[in-house]
Amino acid sequence: MPTGTPRTEPNAAAEPITIFVDLACGNFGRERPLIIQLAAIAVDRDLHEVDQFEALLRFNERFASRRLLTRRRYDRDRWQAEARDKRDVALAFRRFLRRHATHAVAHEGRVFQVARLAAHNGAEFDGPVLRTWYERMGLSLPASRRVLCTLQLAEWFVLISRQHSPPADVKLATLCQYFGIPLTDHHTALANVRATLELFRVLSRELRGQAADAAA
């Protein structure tokens, strides 16, 4: 069942907002995700940034993968100074989502406002992991289950464009290098969100350009 804000009539005047999100996990388990970092950027129809969210989460290092912590640039001193309880972060992020819930979904004759999410590999990773995380805490997630995925968009781009020298794969770092997108502090959540957003901008321009050429 949708868990967004119910409304009594369509709100066509609402500015469509999309929220790009990235999770940094300290383990490999999707059934019991150990989220250590969460970041998001909300953009308007023209992909201009309107808001952002970033949080470090407290966690027990005994349940984390040392290799993943190194990859995620875990700094114990920074986490001790800045990290927050996971439930506090979940509630704060839920408020962030509700603030930008402009996507309408219908359920049993009622229309709900929920957030529209986007992520790199969002359909298979970020979306399912977020839902599992909230469910395990007994909290609702006011976001559409359909997560827009830049990884899938990149796969369509490779298929449609038929580039003579396509990217070696559709990993975020590979695509950023291929399109000349700056990616600093890779594997930190906010840096990945910014790179994903810029990748979406680039892919959108490329696909629109190809559509215009085909129509000419």
Residue 23: its H or E element: strand 18-25
| β-pair partners for 93 | none
pTM for the full model?
Answer: 0.88
Stretch 157-163: mean pLDDT: 81
CATH number, domain containing residue 163? 3.30.420.10
Number of domains into which the chain is organized: 1
18-22, 68-72, 162-166, 197-201: the lowest-pLDDT one: 162-166
Helix (H, G, I), strand (E, B) or coil at 141: coil
**Domain with 87 in it:** 5-215
Q: How many CA atoms lie within 13 A of 122 on its CB side?
A: 25
pLDDT: which is higher, 120 or 8: 120
pLDDT-wise least confident of 50-54, 59-63, 181-185, 210-214? 210-214
- Per-residue pLDDT at 9: 43
For the cut 90, the answer to whether the pLDDT of residue 10 exceeds it is no
Q: Which amino acid is at 196?
A: T
35-43/18-25 β-pairing = antiparallel
* DSSP assignment of 51-91: EEEEEEB---GGGS-HHHHHHTT--HHHHHHH-B-HHHHHH
Evaluate if residue 7 carries a pLDDT over 60: no
What integer is the mean pLDDT of 156-166? Answer: 82
